Chain A
Amino acid sequence: MAKIKYIEFNGTEHEADVANGLSVMEGAIQNDIPGIDADCGGGMSCATCHVYINDDVWFKKLPEKEMGEDDMLDQAFEPKSNSRLSCQLIVSDDLDGLTVHMPEKQI
């Protein structure tokens, strides 16, 4: 279990306890947190669960991107070097306290 903080583009904060094994994306969807669309349902084929990890220490601590994630991020709305697809971030106790920021749009 990990407490994940989701911050919308407008600054609204949401916190959710997400069970181990779920993705950060699923944590948002299951708790009705807006700002993450996840059109493809976690298949790494749509780039609509795009988040920023603003804390550099956290960004480095996350599991590395697998092949294909950066390719999808190319197509996301305003990708940056701290961008991740939240469907690829699988929750474990290690992620307790993670904060993700949502982009302005998931296009």
Chain B
Amino acid sequence: MIKTDVVIIGAGPTGLFCAHQLGIIGLKCEIVDNLDKIGGQCIELYPDKPIYDIPAVPKCTGEELTNNLIEQIKPFNFNFHLSDRVQELKNENNKWLVKTLNGKEFETPNIVIAGGVGSFEPRKFPTKSAEKYDGKSVLYSIKDKTIFKDKSVVIFGGGDSALDWAIELSNSSKVTLVHRRDEFRGAPASVQKIKELSDNKTIDLITKYSIKDVKGNGSLESVEIKSESGESKVIKADYVLGFFGLIMQLGPIAEWGLNLDKKTIPVNTENFETNKKGIFAIGDICTYPGKLKLILSGFHEGALAARGCFKYARPDEKYRFEFTTASSTIKDRLGVKE
């Protein structure tokens, strides 16, 4: 059990800057994110795309913004718990007991949800029948590629993951690559390689088809695919892999008794607390009249939520507002030597 002042859910820009503000006012926090890296949507959706509306930064990429935020909170040595997800919350004696998917437990008076639009999960096949085999022979990520050796593998998708795995697995498996159109969004070199492998019959390339059904009797046997005009084909398959990118799912957050408005959490605009005492929501996931889904709004929300956390983390102390330029206490916390 880790005791802390605040658990932040989400390591995107909003969560990171909130952590900074907590550090500045002398609170500790632990940060949980289900991606394997820090940065949230900035890193997952647009690491290379320029952002033009960060105050005082005319232009930076999602990756640069993330790296700068990481640098900014370095003095506080906060712990990150990546590839993990907060699963359960329980309130006991005004403390929140937090459990993660990987079995970590925290005790904290405050939780800050900075979860974007939820956690990133792989997009799955639309076919109901695929659910039966999910995690066994219908897979959306690969942990151990040796299981495919000498097997028939049908891969769906047109992006880099689909192409890279089709190329990689073609060495030791019978690979069929199915994509809904003729163009691929993967790297040009990979597209070229796929075309070569298809020309020399190393892989079967089928375009303008999508999944219709998976079939099997206990274990997976085949996958049926359909074209838009209704033609269908059945392909023998030991494994079916789908690479359709990631989608954001609210996931367990929806089960914590928080008020929800569509996929967002209503908050007050004084400290961004939700309907539950000690649970705050900031960034894209929160909503209030006039809400803008801008990173700069998330920064503001995080700064105020941090002060809201202070009240519960230090009930016997009075919060004192200080400027970083003038406060020697803050400079000590930042490890600044003058």
B210 in contact with A70 (CB, 8 Å): no
Closest to A42 in B: B293
Within the assembled complex, what's the spacing in Å between the Cα atoms of A35 and B248? 16
Question: 8 Å CB contacts to A: which residues of B119-136?
Answer: 123-124, 126
A81 in contact with B228 (CB, 8 Å): yes
B124 contacts which of A45, A47, A74, A107 (Cβ < 8 Å)? A107
B126 contacts which of A43, A78, A80 (Cβ < 8 Å)? A78
Q: A45-B45, A74-B157, A78-B126 are in contact. Are A39 and B263 (CB under 8 A)?
A: yes
Chain A residue numbers with a CB within 8 Å of B263 are 37, 39
Q: State the Cβ distance, A28 to closest chain B Cβ, in Å.
A: 12
Chain A residue numbers with a CB within 8 Å of B180 are 74, 79
Q: Does A77 contact B (CB under 8 A)?
A: yes
Q: A46-B248, A105-B126, A107-B124 are in contact. Are A74 and B158 (CB under 8 A)?
A: yes
A74 in contact with B247 (CB, 8 Å): no
**Residue from A39, A41, A78, A105 with most neighbouring chain B CB atoms (10 Å):** A39
B123 contacts which of A41, A43, A80, A107 (Cβ < 8 Å)? A107
A80 in contact with B228 (CB, 8 Å): yes
Q: Does A62 contact B (CB under 8 A)?
A: no
Question: 8 Å CB contacts to B: which residues of A14-60?
Answer: 37, 39-41, 43, 45-48
Question: 8 Å CB contacts to B: which residues of A61-102?
Answer: 70-71, 74-75, 77-81
Within the assembled complex, what's the spacing in Å between the Cα atoms of A70 and B179? 12
Q: Does B117 contact A (CB under 8 A)?
A: yes
Q: Does B75 contact A (CB under 8 A)?
A: no
Interface residues as binary, B235-260 with A (CB distance below 8 Å gives 1, 0 otherwise): 00000000011011000000000000
Q: State the Cβ distance, A69 to closest chain B Cβ, in Å.
A: 11
Chain A residue numbers with a CB within 8 Å of B46 are 43, 45
Within the assembled complex, what's the spacing in Å between the Cα atoms of A75 and B210? 12
Chain A residue numbers with a CB within 8 Å of B245 are 47, 74-75
Q: State the Cβ distance, A76 to closest chain B Cβ, in Å.
A: 8
- 14 interchain pairs, CB-CB under 8 A: A37-B263, A39-B117, A39-B247, A40-B41, A43-B45, A43-B46, A45-B41, A45-B46, A46-B117, A70-B183, A74-B180, A79-B210, A104-B126, A107-B124
**Tally of chain A residues near chain B (CB < 8 A):** 21
Give the total number of A-B pairs whose CB atoms are below 8 A apart.
Answer: 57
Q: State the Cβ distance, B172 to closest chain A Cβ, in Å.
A: 27
Q: State the Cβ distance, B321 to closest chain A Cβ, in Å.
A: 33
A46 in contact with B228 (CB, 8 Å): no
Within the assembled complex, what's the spacing in Å between the Cα atoms of A41 and B116? 12
Interface residues as binary, B175-190 with A (CB distance below 8 Å gives 1, 0 otherwise): 0000111010100000
Q: State the Cβ distance, A73 to closest chain B Cβ, in Å.
A: 8
Q: A39-B117, A40-B45 are in contact. Are A71 and B247 (CB under 8 A)?
A: no
Within the assembled complex, what's the spacing in Å between the Cα atoms of A36 and B228? 23
Closest to A32 in B: B262
**Residue from B245, B263, B284 with most neighbouring chain A CB atoms (10 Å):** B245
Q: State the Cβ distance, B24 to closest chain A Cβ, in Å.
A: 29
Interface residues as binary, B217-229 with A (CB distance below 8 Å gives 1, 0 otherwise): 0000000000010
Within the assembled complex, what's the spacing in Å between the Cα atoms of A84 and B330? 51
Within the assembled complex, what's the spacing in Å between the Cα atoms of A79 and B185? 15
Within the assembled complex, what's the spacing in Å between the Cα atoms of A77 and B245? 12
A74 contacts which of B126, B159, B284 (Cβ < 8 Å)? B159
Closest to A67 in B: B185
Chain B residue numbers with a CB within 8 Å of A70 are 181, 183, 185
